Amino acid sequence: MEIDRALGWLQTTAAAKAISENEILFPWIESVHVLAIVLVVGTISIVDLRLLGMASLDRAVSRLMHDVLPYTWAAFVIAAITGLLMFSSDAVNYAHNFFFRGKLVLLALAGLNMAVFHIVGVGDVARWGTTRQTPLPAKAAAVVSLLVWISVVTFGRGIGFTMH
């Protein structure tokens, strides 16, 4: 398969070989990955709980998102970079791993949910102010977000149990 050849090549790059051969490099990169995911999930939950009217109710939604989401994005970038580094060290096997593939699909879903929320709600968010109860579509987006990110963590853990 063409893509397997490309992935095979990726594994031969200097960085990929260094990670797969060095006994402590992978664990360190993985630990940073876990920390980053912890922060992505944790900070996204702050926003989702606000959209659901369950926490930070004295903060306007737009203000809260403006304050919290930069941390979410920074953590996500670190998660993506460390993820890519780990992936490269054993690309072919990861690419064929059910949980890894599922995790990528879920990440795409999370992105889609976020995009829809922003596109559909870009005008509304500013108007909500400190209203406690956001409109139903916003709450739906928050529920989807929480469910998807919980699934991302679940599938991520699944990778660890099924890669050998």
Residues near other proteins, by CB under 8 A? 27, 30-31, 34-35, 37-39, 41-43, 45-46, 55-56, 58, 67, 71, 150, 153-154, 157-158, 160-161
Measured distance CA(150)–CA(41) in Å, rounded: 8
- For other proteins, give the closer residue by CB, 8 or 27: 27
- For other proteins, give the closer residue by CB, 7 or 47: 47
Q: How far is the CB of 28 from other proteins (least distance, A)?
A: 8
- For other proteins, give the closer residue by CB, 10 or 110: 110
Query: Within its chain, how far is the Cα of 161 from the centroid?
Result: 20
Q: How far is the CB of 164 from other proteins (least distance, A)?
A: 13
- For other proteins, give the closer residue by CB, 45 or 145: 45
Q: How far is the CB of 53 from other proteins (least distance, A)?
A: 14
Q: How far is the CB of 30 from other proteins (least distance, A)?
A: 6
Measured distance CA(106)–CA(116) in Å, rounded: 15
